[in-house]
Structure 1
Amino acid sequence: MNRLTAFCIATLMVIGTGLAQARDLSATEAQKLLDAGTILPFDQLNAAALAKHTGATVTDTELEEEYGKYRYKVDLRDAKGIEWDLELDAVTGEVLKNHQDT
């Protein structure tokens, strides 16, 4: 492998790594997405998460963009004190992940 080929491969790997990372969205960015109707309202997303764990409370939320998709991450604590991590599609409200926090 010549130096130019090795350099190109290394550059593409670095660029690819940067693109694959999730990016937290600011409150301003989130508001623009809400106003445009791109993502569901946060109370609706929270309700979808809470429906999975009756009696739980929301302890933290986060909106991220990853691979061009918007993900809403919700941390819950149920009535027994067990913590849950959920991830929802912020556009459709579909629960993508629902697992106990370890």
Structure 2
Amino acid sequence: MKKLTALFTAALIAAAAGAAQARDLGPDEALKLRDAGTIQSFEKLNAAALAQHPGATIEETELEEEYGRYIYQVEVRDTQGVQWDLELDATNGQILKNHRDD
């Protein structure tokens, strides 16, 4: 039982540490990063996401800082009505994740 409790506690600590490493950036901070040239323009990032699913429409976007890296998250809906979740490196537009939302 002590081992189970220790494993459970370790899992909670790891989950809390992971959650603390990601934070959502508000519009003001995102615009400052864009204006400083730290991240690409939102138009370029949106175009990179849409290039993965031609004809799709953007439904939601979010900028996060994860482990010191700026990640642009985009939800798109393709022409067949399928929703896709994409993550891009906001500094260079590289696609990091592109998966169908179930």
Shift of 1:21: 3.0
- The alignment status of 1:72 with 2:72, answered yes or no, reads yes
Letter in 1 for 2:96: L
Letter in 1 for 2:23: R
Q: Which structure 1 residue ranges, 4+ long, deviate > 6 Å from structure 2?
A: none
TM-score by length of 2: 0.82
Partner of 2:41: 41
**Maintained 8 Å contact 1:19/1:67:** no
- How many residues get paired? 90
Partner of 1:6: none
Partner of 2:97: 97
Q: Larger Cα Rg: Structure 1 or Structure 2?
A: 1
1:39-64 per-residue CA deviation (whole Å, 9 max, x = no partner) reads 00001000000000011000000000
Shift of 1:22: 1.1
**Maintained 8 Å contact 1:58/1:76:** yes
Across the aligned residues of Structure 1 and Structure 2, the Cα RMSD in angstroms comes to 1.8
Shift of 1:24: 0.3
Q: Alignment identity in percent?
A: 62
Matched position secondary structure for 1:81: coil
- The alignment status of 1:21 with 2:35, answered yes or no, reads no
TM-score by length of 1: 0.82
Partner of 1:61: 61
Unaligned segments of structure 1, at least 5 residues: 1-9
